[in-house]
Amino acid sequence: MQYRTLGQTGLKVSEISFGAWAIGGTSEAAGTQWGWGETPERDAIAAVRRAFELGVNFFDTADVYGNGRSEQILGKALASDWGKAMVASKVGNVVRNGVGAKDWSRAHIVRSCEASLKRLNKDVIDVYQLHNPVEHDIRHGDWPETLELLQQQGKIRWYGVSVFLPEEAMAVLERGKGQVIQLAYNALRLEMEESVLPLAQKKNVGIIARVPLYYGILAGKFKPDAIFPLNDHRSHTLPPETMRELVPRADRLRDLAHIAPGDSAAFGQWSLKFILANPAVSTVIPGARNPQQAEKNCAASAGAPLPKDQVAAVQDVWRRDPYLRALRTGL
């Protein structure tokens, strides 16, 4: 496993880290499913432990993943190893009166932080992130003061913001608060390369890249007509019309990489290496629901980096494709 510095935090994090959304299992909020289907706790803990054994030292979660279950599993799996492992969690998503909402109030953030610490069985959260605020709240909210209070109290070490859109990431960078930005970035989603990633690198802001395999599409796991079960968020975040557009484009990237159809492990590792080819990226957080998936993810840190001509070819595909250039939402 190779390690990189997480921006201004100075933390040395594994370049392949662990996205813990999926191990939260099913999670319904305001009538919408935001989980990944059932994940047995035994398998989830085994996935976390295997990743840790292979050198992963950074685990990303959120209080809403499985309604706290993801944090609880990390707490069970890593309680005796928190001195060697770090965690990033998120705050701000709530359901009130059956409606999903955001809450950036000091009372909610402080209360949620304390609850996360208990579930994680940890004394301090290494990186605490706002969970996808809109641009206005990033620019004008008093969240930096709240998070800096938590720093002073020793409950968090560093803080940042998870974002959907480039303009939200730019708002974080322009406000100059926080040391980390988490954003969607993969071989089909390059919009962050245009302005955000260069400025983040210049300002030494750590970048956590999520959705690296586009929910499995960039591992070649699906056909264009794939349908997901209703207890899996992909049943609505990847509807049939989206699958018909994205899967053939992913197949073209696989061909560009000279990877055989059906070689999911090789394509997934290539996709992770593509992200790591960008020097602005500190770490990438693929998910894993069993030890085998964790092993495949971690293998992307081994061997030679992606050839520059392949990186350039992927960028050229994106620049020439109006559909890909128009993608601006997603988790």
The tokens of 155 are what?
A: 């409950």
**Mean predicted confidence (pLDDT) in 44-58:** 98
The tokens of 137 are what?
A: 């709240």
pLDDT at residue 253 above 90? Answer: yes
Q: What is the domain extent for residue 30? A: 10-326
pLDDT at residue 330 above 70? Answer: no
Residue 35's pLDDT band (cuts 50, 70, 90): confident
* Domain annotation covers residue 237: yes
* Domain annotation covers residue 1: no
Q: Which residue(s) pair with 269 in the sheet?
A: none
Q: Where are the alpha helices (DSSP H) in the chain?
A: 41-53, 69-78, 106-120, 135-140, 143-152, 166-175, 196-203, 234-237, 240-256, 264-276, 291-298, 308-319, 322-326
**Mean predicted confidence (pLDDT) in 47-67:** 97
pLDDT given at position 24: 92
Residue in the structure block whose two tokens are 């997901």: 228
* Domain annotation covers residue 196: yes
Q: Which residue(s) pair with 128 in the sheet?
A: 89, 159
* Domain annotation covers residue 4: no
Side chain identity, residue 289: R
CATH number, residue 260: 3.20.20.100
Residue 29's pLDDT band (cuts 50, 70, 90): confident
Mean pLDDT, the chain, rounded, equals: 95
d(CA 185, CA 29): 25
**Mean predicted confidence (pLDDT) in 225-233:** 91
Looking at the structure of the chain, the number of domains it has is: 1
The tokens of 59 are what?
A: 């685990």
Residue 325's pLDDT band (cuts 50, 70, 90): very high
d(CA 123, CA 154): 8
pLDDT at residue 5 above 80? Answer: yes
Phi, psi of 60 (to 5 degrees): -105, 130
Instruction: Classify residue 125 by its DSSP letter.
Output: E
Its sign, for the CA torsion 94, 99, 102, 105, is: negative
d(CA 267, CA 275): 13
* Domain annotation covers residue 288: yes
* Domain annotation covers residue 90: yes
pLDDT given at position 64: 93
Q: What percent of the chain has pLDDT over 70?
A: 99
Per-residue pLDDT tens over the stretch 82-101: 999 999 999 999 988 778 89
Side chain identity, residue 230: L
Rg of the chain on CA atoms, in Å: 19
* Domain annotation covers residue 5: no
pLDDT given at position 263: 95
pLDDT at residue 137 above 90? Answer: yes
pLDDT at residue 331 above 70? Answer: no
d(CA 18, CA 16): 7
Select the more confidently predicted residue: 19 or 37: 19
Q: What percent of the chain has pLDDT over 90?
A: 90
pLDDT given at position 200: 98
* Domain annotation covers residue 185: yes
